[in-house]
């Protein structure tokens, strides 16, 4: 009986061809190249791939694990085309374009969307005019891994046609780059956006390549020995974090959030403006801070649900209404939208409190801050908030690291967000990163060229690699002084010694008060 069951399972493991989400309707294949296409099918089954641009059929046999790979020849830019795949059961890819494919990577200034938390210059106009059927978007989901992955997660599980509907949450830098190519060269463009805000360059380098730098050998070897099971890593982290919170955060007493209580007297707390990055009085802050705002709720709102919008909070939040938790989110770019249930909504004074945990990099609250009633009346939450620091990691010691999601674990983003893309046909890569490495600018001279070398080695291709030099940021000084950002810009400039690279200089496009220039 067991043998019969195993035979049935082995024969139906893949009822039809399964493709990674990077192969889908609306995709772009690199023009005039031999483009690999791969997937899974029934073990030892013959898979046939037919391309409509030339009517050619390619055949390959799946291996014992059901994996297969073919290489198809692509013509000059054009489309739309179809790709038909069959192993007895058909899968058709429609609206496929042939053109220029670019990988777009880096940290938050690459991630910064046209709309959402980004709201670039003239974002409403740019979004409204983003109907470009020749531009296709592939958004890689943010995930890390201690080991090189073969599977990848993609938003919406497929490529999207660029439109006012699909573009608002997509990388502004990538979009404008792609639009320029599409318009100037009159070709379809595929943009593979794979970035993560607040990340170090070493996260985007493979373990084997990073070990070429002696100072990373022990770290990489330690990571490579970590369990691949995220559940184990998460359990370890939660245990460590609970102990850390109990030790340092006086915002809780016997497990209760005393700094969120409506009855708390916060007259001695300092003030800060949101939305935006924390003010200069907390420059370089990492740790836990509590912020509070008093709100007057109209009588007409009482007894009805309220929608709360807090934009993006860097990094994690726990949000309270009159001392009762109404939501929590981990992640610096995720939009916070919570519902305050009707039973908690009363006319008069209410206290909104947020416990903000910043694990590194910038700290702040960005985006649209408001309360909205069921009949679409709105109360703005922008402006003055009260705040109090509960734990400064520079004084109480570093936070535990959540290795199950930590994007700054060296090699972890390469493993999960670059490695699964290897072999997909591309023209080149664009890169916007460096802010996170500014305190180690001299080391960046060696680290950054390793990214270029690493990726080119993986693709077996000396493709163009273009990058953005850091913009001007922070207030001008009246006298010459040391500057980590200036040193980082020099390290970036030195990378031009690597062949087939280019650098966009944007020293005139920055904002002294915002690390994310809105002029993309």
Q: Are residues 83 and 104 in the same domain?
A: no
Q: Are residues 120 and 91 in the same domain?
A: no
Tell whether 165 is covered by a domain: yes
3-state secondary structure at position 492: helix
Task: Express each pLDDT in 254-286 by its tens digit.
Answer: 888 999 999 999 999 999 999 999 988 898 899
Task: Express each pLDDT in 478-492 by its tens digit.
Answer: 788 888 999 999 999
Q: Are residues 159 and 209 in the same domain?
A: yes
Tell whether 516 is covered by a domain: no
Tell whether 162 is covered by a domain: yes
Q: Are residues 115 and 204 in the same domain?
A: yes
Q: Are residues 392 and 273 in the same domain?
A: yes
Contact assessment for residue 504 and residue 467, using Cβ atoms and an 8 Å cutoff = yes
Q: Are residues 429 and 374 in the same domain?
A: no
Bridge partners, 71 (sequence order): 36
Q: Are residues 286 and 373 in the same domain?
A: yes
Q: Are residues 42 and 61 in the same domain?
A: yes
Task: List the one residue out of 49, 16, 23 whose CA is nearest residue 152.
Answer: 23
H-run or E-run covering 192: strand 189-195
- Tally of structural domains, the chain: 3
Q: Are residues 244 and 384 in the same domain?
A: yes
Q: What is the CATH number of the domain that holds 153?
A: 3.40.50.1110
Task: List the one residue out of 349, 311, 352, 357 whose CA is nearest residue 333.
Answer: 311
According to the model, what pLDDT value does residue 355 have? 97
Residue 164's CB is within 10 A of a number of other CB atoms, namely 15
**pTM score of the predicted model:** 0.76
Q: Are residues 143 and 221 in the same domain?
A: yes
Q: What is the CATH number of the domain that holds 363?
A: 2.60.120.260
Residue at which a domain ends, from 98, 123, 142: 98
pLDDT at position 427 over 50: yes
Q: What is the CATH number of the domain that holds 82?
A: 2.60.40.10
The confidence band for 11, taking pLDDT boundaries of 50, 70 and 90, is: very low
Percent of the chain with pLDDT over 90: 81
Contact assessment for residue 241 and residue 452, using Cβ atoms and an 8 Å cutoff = no
Contacts of 41 (CB under 8 A, 6+ apart): 14, 16, 17, 18, 47, 62, 66, 68, 87
Distance, in Å, from the CA atom of 420 to the CA atom of 424, rounded to the nearest integer, reads 9
Q: Is the backbone of residue 500 left (phi > 0), alpha (psi -120 to 50) or beta?
A: left
According to the model, what pLDDT value does residue 336 have? 96
Task: Express each pLDDT in 336-385 by its tens digit.
Answer: 999 999 999 999 999 999 999 998 878 999 999 999 999 999 999 999 99
Residue at which a domain ends, from 98, 120, 136: 98
**Rounded to the nearest 5°, which phi and psi values hold at 132?**
-125, 95
Distance, in Å, from the CA atom of 325 to the CA atom of 311, rounded to the nearest integer, reads 17
Q: Are residues 373 and 255 in the same domain?
A: yes
Residue at which a domain ends, from 335, 364, 396: 396
Q: Are residues 203 and 112 in the same domain?
A: yes
Domain membership of residue 39 as a residue range: 2-98
The confidence band for 217, taking pLDDT boundaries of 50, 70 and 90, is: very high
């Amino acid at each position: 009986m067991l043998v019969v069951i195993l035979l049935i399972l082995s024969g139906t493991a893949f009822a039809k061809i399964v493709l990674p989400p990077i192969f889908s309707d609306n995709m772009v294949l690199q023009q005039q190249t031999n483009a690999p296409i791969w997937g899974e099918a029934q073990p030892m089954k013959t898979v046939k791939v037919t391309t409509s641009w030339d009517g050619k059929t390619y055949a390959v046999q799946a291996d014992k694990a059901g994996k297969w790979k073919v290489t198809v020849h692509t013509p000059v830019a054009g489309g739309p085309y179809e790709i038909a795949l069959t192993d007895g059961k058909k899968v058709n890819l429609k609206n496929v374009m042939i053109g220029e494919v670019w990988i777009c990577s880096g940290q938050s200034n690459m991630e910064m969307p046209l709309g959402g938390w980004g709201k670039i210059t003239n974002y409403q106009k740019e979004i409204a005019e983003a109907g470009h059927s020749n531009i296709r978007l592939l958004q890689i989901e943010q995930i890390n891994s201690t080991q090189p992955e073969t599977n990848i997660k993609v938003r919406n599980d497929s490529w999207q046609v660029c439109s006012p509907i699909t573009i608002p949450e997509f990388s502004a830098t990538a979009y404008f780059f792609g639009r320029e190519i599409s318009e100037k060269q009159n070709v379809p463009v595929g943009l593979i956006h794979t970035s993560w805000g607040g990340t170090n360059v070493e996260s985007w380098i493979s373990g084997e390549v990073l070990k070429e730098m002696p100072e990373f050998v022990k770290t990489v070897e330690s990571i490579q020995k970590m369990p691949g099971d995220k559940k184990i890593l998460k359990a370890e982290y939660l245990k460590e974090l609970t102990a850390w919170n109990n030790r340092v955060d006086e915002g809780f007493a016997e497990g209760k959030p005393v700094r969120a209580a409506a009855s708390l007297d916060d007259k001695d707390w300092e003030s800060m403006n949101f939305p935006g990055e924390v003010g200069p009085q907390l420059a370089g802050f990492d740790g836990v801070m509590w912020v509070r705002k008093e709100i007057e709720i109209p009588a007409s709102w009482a007894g009805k649900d309220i929608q709360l919008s807090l934009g993006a909070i860097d990094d994690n939040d726990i949000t309270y209404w009159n001392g009762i938790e109404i939501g929590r989110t981990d992640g610096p770019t995720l939009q916070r939208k919570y519902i305050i249930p009707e039973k908690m909504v009363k006319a008069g004074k209410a206290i909104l409190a947020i416990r903000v945990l910043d694990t590194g990099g910038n700290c702040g609250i960005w985006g649209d801050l408001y309360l909205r009633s069921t009949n679409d009346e709105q109360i703005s939450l922008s402006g003055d908030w009260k705040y109090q620091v509960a734990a400064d990691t520079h004084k109480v010691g570093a936070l535990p690291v959540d290795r199950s999601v930590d994007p700054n674990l060296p090699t972890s983003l390469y493993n999960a967000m670059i490695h699964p893309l290897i072999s997909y046909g591309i023209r080149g890569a664009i890169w916007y990163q460096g802010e996170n490495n500014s305190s180690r600018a001299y080391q960046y001279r060696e680290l950054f060229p390793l990214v270029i070398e690493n990726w080119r080695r993986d693709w077996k291709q000396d493709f163009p690699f273009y990058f953005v030099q850091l913009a001007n940021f922070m207030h001008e000084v009246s006298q010459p002084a040391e500057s980590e950002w200036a040193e980082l810009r020099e390290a970036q400039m030195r990378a031009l010694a690597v062949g087939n690279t280019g650098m966009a200089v944007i020293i005139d496009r920055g904002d002294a008060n915002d690390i994310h220039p809105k002029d993309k």
